[in-house]
Structure 1
């Protein structure tokens, strides 16, 4: 058992380091192009790559519980703990320019889309996921990108949100851009190299401890999978209002990606390795996890519909995360 745990920790460390490289590169690329659109798209896709790597590796081995559990754990982790840490930093002296609250009024599209995709994902899972569901998830992802792109065009006609940041980024030398691109590529390669051994180690520890691999995936996978997003959120939250705005866009965008792109990747990866008619089956534990995470996602979004998030909201989200993790020890007994 000790060997499996050391193996798991070793590959977890490799994924965290690769995620740090990816985050650093992605953040500087985002600074070059700027704006909420980047937070929703480029940065969200970049910070979702670790989960994609883990999901593909799990689907290859037929470990569908690990694949879906990883996606669910990511949403549970970032919609509660991730947002909580960002709010605590942005509204206290931990930030370079503390705010009383973070304004999320401009994210109406993201909030509504996240609720829709969370509910649709849970409903489609009643009879498992197949190719039809994969197409639906891909279509929802394409629709979200189209709406985000349309909003970006509207913003450009008005006063750009990140005008100063955009200009500053373009003034930086080409060497800075080249370094960012190298880090981004190195992090991406590191993530896909470490994903498969990490999944194997997770399964080994699960057997040794007698704990469901689904539960371990929900708890452990986000530590590696969400590391780039966590790092970028902390860095952005410390920069003040504009940085916090991009951080919120990144969280909401990446969680929508989890409910659309990531699930479609799981379906199509399973098909590519196991055959065209492959179906990701529903199980009682996965179904309970899906319901739990969907409910927690919606509850976490409630304060956002008031358009202002403060320190109290951060504390509430931390409590919600603790409750979600506590449920991991209850669900297997149901």
Structure 2
């Protein structure tokens, strides 16, 4: 669809309506995913890590597919890598507005499996930087080696995290003392109990409907966002990494706030790290559809965002190790540092993008 002929107010209206649709559909997607994973016994690895990572990132999937089919991967690359940075900042929102003054998110959620999840994000992003250095001609059957390696690392990390959650040779399975009292993922069972009057068939239909709404809204976001960026003379990379990335992160915000409000702090952090580890997997989809290696096409701004995402993730790894208790502006010291560095990072992005 070509929206370039529309006026700026109309484009903004489309963008806002699409963002609201993604927010509302994202809430239902999270709820129905948790209910189905609980009823069908899918387990945390499949139901929690894979399915939820896919459904909460449906807007990014729609944007990547749309951009790849058009052969213009610039905004998709910026959205994926910028999305990882801004989804990490979602943890700041959960810490400040989800917990309030009851404590800090990293103190309540800290565990070795969560640290392992965060390390998988750092590892995958390191491969993104490596893949950027490879020649664009290094691609076989529409499969670039770096994009394939990212998928392999993601799958291995899922196995390691699943194993760590079940059989970790540490005291209390690597769970920090005085963290959340109920087991990680207990919010899923509570949602299932609250929806016990609804049949599995109805829940499945609602899940599919919300997934469709999210996909359509994701395409509308990408198309209207691209047109808005041109109208206001804002670089596609900067727009994709900030405004568009924030809009497509709405499902993560809604799911995370729900988990935090239900006292499942570990799942809230796990969903963010799991989604961040999944996003670079979309580079393989982009390569298969476009026939081009995405990572060598990444701009200096994209690699800058990748480095920023690594830095923000490392801060939260340190936060889960040291578990700060003291609140600053209603959040932990790690969240405050992440917020400051992200804002400074966006300022740096604006400088190098011009």
TM-score bin (small chain): 0.7 to 0.9
- Which of the residues 183, 207, 211 maps onto 1:161? 183
1:254 positional shift: 0.6
Task: Please tell me whether the aligned partners of residues 30 and 42 of structure 1 are also in contact (alpha carbons under 8 angstroms).
Answer: no
Residue in 2 aligned with 1:279? 293
Q: In structure 1, which of residues 113, 119, 124 is the aligned counterpart of residue 120 of structure 2?
A: 113
Unaligned runs of 5+ in 2: 174-180, 326-330
Distance change in 2, residues 1:234/1:160 (3 Å)? closer
> What is the Cα deviation at residue 92 of structure 1?
1.8
Match of 2:153 in 1: 140
1:332 aligned residue: 353
Larger proportion of helix: 1
CA distance in structure 1 between the aligned counterparts of 2:228 and 2:93, rounded to whole angstroms: 29
1:175 is aligned to: 198
Q: Distance in 1 between matches of 2:323 and 2:336?
A: 17
2:318 aligns with one of 302, 306, 310? 302
Structure 1 residues 46-83: Cα deviation after superposition (integer angstroms, max 9, x where no partner): 21111111111111112211011001121111112x01
Contact 1:48 1:225 in 2 (8 A): yes
| Matching residue of 2:18 | 14
Task: Tell me the CA shift for residue 3 of structure 1.
Answer: 1.0
Do 2:78 and 2:302's aligned partners in 1 also have CA atoms closer than 8 Å? yes
| Cα shift at 1:251 | 0.5
Q: Tell me how far 1:322 sits from its aligned partner.
A: 1.7
Say whether residues 1:103 and 2:112 are aligned partners: no
CA separation of 1:153/1:199 partners in 2, compared to 1, >3 Å: closer, same or farther? same
Alpha-carbon shift at residue 224 of structure 1 (Å): 2.5
Aligned to 1:249: 270
The 3 A distance-change label for structure 1 pair 128 and 52 is farther
Matches within 5 A, 1:169-318: 171=193, 172-173=195-196, 175=198, 177-240=200-263, 243-259=264-280, 261-271=281-291, 278-280=292-294, 281-307=297-323, 311-318=332-339
RMSD of aligned Cα (Å): 3.1
Per-residue deviation at 1:165? Answer: 5.2
SS for the counterpart of 2:66 is helix
Task: Report what 2:28 is aligned to.
Answer: 24
Measure how far apart 1:302 and its partner are: 3.3
Count of residue correspondences: 318
1:50: which partner in 2?
A: 59
Tell me how far 1:117 sits from its aligned partner: 1.0
Q: TM-score, normalised by structure 1?
A: 0.82
Q: CA deviation at 1:90?
A: 4.2
Distance 2:278 2:267 in 1: 16
Q: Would the alpha carbon gap of residues 327 and 108 (structure 1) be closer, same or farther in structure 2, given more than 3 Å must change?
A: same
Counterpart-to-counterpart distance in 1, 2:97 and 2:254:
12
CA distance in 2 between counterparts of 1:212 and 1:137 reads 27
Supply the distance in 1 between the matched residues of 2:278 and 2:187 (Cα, whole angstroms): 26
Structure 1, gaps ≥5 residues long: 272-277
Aligned to 2:93: 85
Change (3 A) 1:152 1:202: same
Shift in CA distance, 308/109, structure 1 to aligned 2, threshold 3 Å: farther
State the Cα deviation string for residues 214-266 of structure 1 (Å, max 9, x = none). Answer: 111101222331111110111111122xx11110000111111123x222222
Relative to structure 1, is the Cα distance of residues 152 and 311 closer, same or farther in structure 2, using a 3 angstrom cutoff?
A: closer
Match of 1:72 in 2: 81
Distance 1:17 1:128, change over 3 A: farther
State which drifts further: 67-76 or 159-168: 159-168
Q: CA, structure 1 residues 46+166, in 2 after alignment: closer, same or farther (shift >3 Å)?
A: closer
